[in-house]
Amino acid sequence: MTALHFITPSVYPYPGGMQESVLRIARGMAACGFECFIYTLGSSDPQRETGAVPAGVEIVPVGEDLDFLLDPLVGGRTFPPEGEENRAVVQCLTNAVRERQRTGRDGADLIISFYASHSGFLAQHAAMSLGLPHIASVRGSDFARDVLETSQHWRMRFVVEHADQLVTTNQEQAEGLYAMFSLRRRARTIHNSIEDPAERPYWECPDIDRIRLFSDCGFSLKKGTHLLLRAVESLVEKGLPVELTVLGGVFRTESEEYWEGCRRDYLTRHPDRFAFPGHRPRAEVSDYLRKSHLYCSATFAEGCSLSRIRALTVGIPIVTTRSGALVEVVDGCDHVRLCSPGDWKGLAREIEKAVADLGNKALIPDRRRIDGWRSHFSVDRERKKWLSVVEGVLPTPAPVSEGS
């Protein structure tokens, strides 16, 4: 049996789109007959990595061995020196993969990494040490942020120049990588997917007394939450009948104090116009989508946002930024309005126009387009595309289950 070794910072349901994608893709490949392992680099607690393990997939928390290996170096430091840490990660990762390679097994081994400038860089070193082919998945933060930082740019270049295949989540990434680096072959673009989009109820416009705006972006700079809040407040101050609910928590690298103060200030100024319920179960997120009038996102950049895919496939009208894979599929669709990233005034203008159209019953979702998105963002389509990439890199024919 051919083995796929997935390498990622974490699969702990933070929640985060990349973690969800790693689990979903590994589950799809396991269903195709591959033996699948997911090696997590960012957690030393195995219990954090066992919340939703797909059948046929083994989670390997490399961080557990890493913490012990680096213990003499840490001392009073918060972090060990970068070079020592990277060497230790590569060694732990190499050892973990080697332990799971079975001599005499009728099949090959292939490494697949997620997040090129972080785990992809380390995975490439491990792949070279083991003599294994490597598929590197470029994620949203790779291209939208890390490639602009000198040290991360160098990491990206190393992966781009040595990986056997690059996979991006939108065409802008693929074209940008080709222009920026000397690619040995064109990157393959595979959009993310969501579970059972065809089974989701279609959005029907709720009764309008006050326009309910909804976002599940949480609180972070990269999602532009502060821009969304300011845009909506400007509309409240103009007298528009709007209210905004933002689900999610504070991104782990950002200041809880800042965002707590931000939430407190908005609730103090407009207690009946803003709500921040925190993290909610997926079923409740779906309820918010169906019961709201407009989905809003001020994100600075995206790969292929699962939150926006969910909104697209439900059919709720959307106002968001011109970024990521969404731009590639909504051309000419009137109920999806786009503005430039980083422009809260432009976002406010698009929301205001959408609110007016909703009030005039002039913002009608295109059911034909929605059905097309449900097919496009299906798990089956994503799985077949990933299978094609894996087959193209493996040195031996890949095992394929019936119906795939």
Q: How far apart are CA 275 and CA 282, in angstroms?
A: 18
Are residues 22 and 161 both part of a single domain? yes
Asked if residue 358 is part of any domain, the answer here is: yes
Domain that holds residue 203: 197-376
Are residues 77 and 102 both part of a single domain? yes
Are residues 260 and 318 both part of a single domain? yes
What one-character-per-residue DSSP string does 153-206 give?
HHHHHHHHHH-SEEEESSHHHHHHHHHHS--SSPPEE----BS-GGGSPPP-PP
Asked if residue 281 is part of any domain, the answer here is: yes
Asked if residue 399 is part of any domain, the answer here is: no
Closest CA to 193 of 303, 306, 340: 306
pLDDT tens across the length of the chain (404 residues): 899 999 998 886 555 678 889 999 999 999 999 999 999 987 544 445 445 677 889 999 887 777 777 777 655 555 667 778 888 889 999 999 999 886 556 779 999 999 999 999 999 999 999 999 999 999 988 887 888 888 888 899 999 999 999 999 999 999 888 888 877 778 999 999 998 877 888 999 999 889 999 999 999 999 999 999 999 999 999 999 999 999 999 987 889 999 999 999 999 999 999 999 999 988 899 999 999 999 999 999 899 999 999 999 999 999 999 999 999 999 989 999 999 999 999 999 999 999 999 988 888 899 999 999 999 999 999 999 999 999 999 975 555 665 55
DSSP-derived secondary structure letter, 219: B
Are residues 181 and 229 both part of a single domain? no
* Alpha-carbon 362 to chain mean position: 32
Amino acid at 333: C
Asked if residue 144 is part of any domain, the answer here is: yes
Are residues 124 and 264 both part of a single domain? no
Q: CA geometry: angle at 234 spanning 228 and 240, to 5°?
A: 105
Q: What is the pLDDT of residue 88?
A: 85
Asked if residue 120 is part of any domain, the answer here is: yes
SS3 string, 228-243, reads HHHHHHHHHHCCCCEE
Q: What is the CATH number of the domain that holds 27?
A: 3.40.50.2000
Are residues 28 and 157 both part of a single domain? yes
Q: CA geometry: angle at 140 spanning 139 and 141, to 5°?
A: 95
Are residues 260 and 273 both part of a single domain? yes
Give the Cβ contact number of residue 271 at 10 Å: 9
Domain count for the chain: 2
CA distances from 43 to 22, 61, 403 (A): 15, 7, 36
Are residues 145 and 240 both part of a single domain? no
Q: How far apart are CA 132 and CA 154, in angstroms?
A: 22
Asked if residue 225 is part of any domain, the answer here is: yes
- H helix or E strand, kind and range, residue 45: none
* Token code pair at residue 394: 């493996």
Are residues 55 and 201 both part of a single domain? no
Amino acid at 13: P
Asked if residue 227 is part of any domain, the answer here is: yes
Closest CA to 233 of 78, 347, 316: 347
CB 171 within 8 A of CB 190: no
Are residues 262 and 162 both part of a single domain? no
Could you list the beta-strand ranges (E) of 217-370: 242-247, 274-278, 294-296, 318-321, 336-339
Total residue length of the chain:
404
Q: What is the pLDDT of residue 197?
A: 77
